[in-house]
Chains A and B, each alone.
Chain A
Amino acid sequence: MLKLNQENRLTESPSTDSSLEHCLTRMGDGDNSALEEIYHHTRAAVYGYALSLVKNVHDAEDVLQECYLKLCSAAAAYRKQGKPMAFLLRIVRNLCYDRLRDRQRRESDLSSELAAMSAWPNLSEEDRVTLRACLEELRDEERQVILLHVLGGFRFHEIASFTEEPLSTVLSRYHRAMKKLRIQLS
């Protein structure tokens, strides 16, 4: 029973914690292919979360680069504790806060920003619509919950402790945001 539950927990995340943890360990041992793998599994969460915090495409792209760079040097010091995604997104969050503090600016509106994405020309129309909906229609705190849950694979109570907010707040934001997205994307 317990085993089954744990298995569910792992497989339901977009990228499993155990495989990420394994990659981090390999990185710590100097395995170069591990970074590629981690990047592949986590880039959506890292980029999405960074974008939701800095609200500036260039900064978010820089944060992504910095984040993986940082991960390279931090991997050797990483201690197994079962939450590599939280480890990674904390790095992202700290980088974003540094950036916001340094620049003393906060883009209030992402709509004019989207076209500046380096990948923008290669995105499908559907992807663009999805990004627009997520970045323009949701409120900041709703977007954060959505990204942490959907891209980061966090459970709601994990989001609550990550953002230091009550579980009920997280849940209501999630449901409200999901509803908005369903309407927007239909």
Chain B
Amino acid sequence: MRNREVKQRLRKAFDNAAPALKDAERSFRPIHIGEPFPSEKKYRQPLPRWTLAAAAAVLLFFCGFIGFHAHPFAAKSRIETAAGPGEGLSPTPAPAVSATAAPTTQPTGVTVQAKEPASDATLLDEATVKALVLSHAELTEAAVQYWRAKLDRENGRLVYEAELTADGVEFEYEVDAMTGEIVKCEREQLAANPVPAEEPIGEEKAKEIALQHAGVSTADAEQLRVKADWEDNRRVYEVEFVANETEYDYEIDAVTGQILKSEKETVREAADSSSAAKGSAAAPAKKSGSSQQSSGSNEAIGTSKAKEIALKHAGVSASKAKRLRVETDRENGRQVYEVEFTADGIEYDYEIDALTGKILKHEAERDDD
């Protein structure tokens, strides 16, 4: 049985085995904030409404307690945390924002009042938070070059951690997710070179830099991908490609073109070592296999060559081949390439000896998908 058939059967079996969605589950409950992206390290359970209410109650109690017993201290910490961008304690009423968004620097008593709607346990959505932050920082939407907000829990309360840059200044805010209170505000002048003036080098250039560093020509690079991304507040390009059975992974500064990270991982060696680990049985088989071959070479032809052989045999040009994929596999102890592609509604399937380039098997069938 071929790998492809195994895969098809697996797909079909699990597709059929998956239970139907229960009707009750199909109704939508879009809530505006949703959940944070479920990243591996910082996954949080969705909070049931009662949890939010409880958190709000604890917060209320705590604030009330401090307000009553240790008012000077509370006031002090407030000054520290709410030190605004440049102008210190600017009162920031956020007009036109929801009523739950409490002004930052109100006396404690008033804040408590403003927090009352929190028992309703509604979280502010990101747009509201953004509006709050922008009005606090006295920025317009247009001036913001970078914005990111994520929901987090800080000492038991839900806050939005927002980062933004505008006019060469980086701001970091923490905003209470229920009351809209600005818990923390930091600003930092970015390095002297103004960011907006810098133009990114472009994906093509990034690709070029990576390929040059790897010593790989454009033609040899397969599965070449470039993606613009942000890393530690700087724009980068992530460049990935495979060449000569090696996976390359680059991170390139989008402005300076400097290589920030380069990784290289050999794919074939790994596949080989795995088969070697399978036992000695495979090794002699491979040896005898290769000694039979006239070329006597022990070098694999490479995936691009295998692809070329298959395409040539099928009489299909590279540009016409869709869903082209090559996999390294082992068949009776010999290393083979499985090349699959479709063209003009026909599915081609090749098995090519990785050492000699000989076509061991080929199939063509109408693609019914």
Residues of chain A whose beta carbon lies under 8 Å from any beta carbon of chain B: 1-2, 4-9, 11-12, 14, 27-28, 30, 32, 35-36, 39, 43-48, 61, 64-65, 68-70, 72-79, 82, 87, 90-91, 94, 98, 117-120, 122-124, 126-128, 130-131, 134, 146-147, 150-151, 156-157, 164, 166-168, 171-172, 175-176, 178-179, 181-182, 185-186
Contacts and interface: CB of A to CB of B under 8 A. Distances in A.
Contacts of A176: 274, 278
Contacts of B223: 5, 8-9
B308 to A, nearest CB: 15
Question: Interface residue tally of chain B, by bracket?
Answer: 35 or more
Given A48-B14, A127-B17, 8 more contacts: A9-B223, A30-B30, A44-B11, A72-B25, A130-B10, A157-B247, A157-B249, A185-B6
Secondary structure at chain B's binding surface: helix, strand, loop or mixed?
Answer: mixed
B9 A130 contact: yes
B16 A76 contact: no
Contact of A127 (B12, B22, B265): B12
Given A130-B10, A172-B273, A175-B330, A4 B22 contact: no
Interface string B1-24: 111011101111111111101100
A182 B6 contact: yes
A167 B247 contact: yes
Given A39-B21, A119-B18, A134-B13, A74 B34 contact: yes
Contacts of A178: 3, 6, 329
Contact of B225 (A6, A14, A130): A6
Nearest to B323: A11
B26 interface: yes
Contacts of B19: 47, 61, 64-65, 117-119
Interface of B: 1-3, 5-7, 9-19, 21-22, 25-26, 28-40, 43, 45-46, 207, 218, 222-227, 240, 247, 249, 265, 267, 269-271, 273-275, 277-278, 318-319, 322-325, 329-330
Nearest to A72: B28
Nearest to B151: A77
B31 A65 contact: no
Given A5-B223, A118-B19, A124-B16, A32 B28 contact: yes
A120 B13 CA distance: 10
9 contacts: A1-B218, A2-B225, A5-B225, A44-B17, A73-B35, A90-B38, A117-B17, A123-B16, A185-B5
